[in-house]
Amino acid sequence: MLVRRCLLRSLPQACRPRRRPAAGQGGQHHRLVQRTLDALGEKMSSKPYVREMSKTTWFLSQPRYKRYMAREVTCIFIFAYTFLLIVALARLAQGPDAFQEFLDALRSPLGVLFNVAVLIATVYHSMSWFNVTPQAMPIQMGEEFVPGKIIVSAHYGAWAVVSLIVLFLGV
């Protein structure tokens, strides 16, 4: 307080603060100082602010929300294919005839359509995750971060190598 008095004595009377609440000091400069209602002793509204938003179509408002929801929906296809693999193991355990029936069902037009849909969903899911990886998993070397393009390129490169190994070796 003593330091403040000493500093304020050196100011001309017009520049010193007046005996008003601090929130009201900048009243003549409306664009510079925002006055809060609570600080001036006025009552604030007791009604909370509620932003109008649809509970079912909120993701349609922005393209990035649409991409997010598309990535989340692809998980359903991946789950369905995982379940299909479990069924394949169960049929294989039942014997060669049961497994052959399962393979015949997969060769039907509906089975082929399902596999193509799962492939498209899996490729989209993988590509969208690879593109988000630099934000989800930043890699720091020394003081600098590895550029995102290098991280994304490494993921695509590893994906291509594994795909070629599976294609040519039939692993």
Distances in whole angstroms, Cα of residue 83 to Cα of each of 87, 88, 97:
6, 9, 20
Give the end-to-end CA distance of the chain in Å, rounded to a whole number.
Answer: 79
Fold of 59-151: 3 helical TM bundles of succinate and fumarate reductases (1.20.1300)
pLDDT digits (tens, 9 = 90+) for 64-98: 888 888 889 999 999 999 999 999 999 999 999 99
Domain residue spans of the chain: 59-151
CB environment 44-82: b (16+ within 10 A), e (fewer)? eeeeeeeeeeeeeeebeeeeeeeeeeebeebeebeeebe
What is the per-residue pLDDT across 18-53, written as a single tens digit (0 to 9) for each? 655 555 555 555 555 555 555 556 666 778 888 787
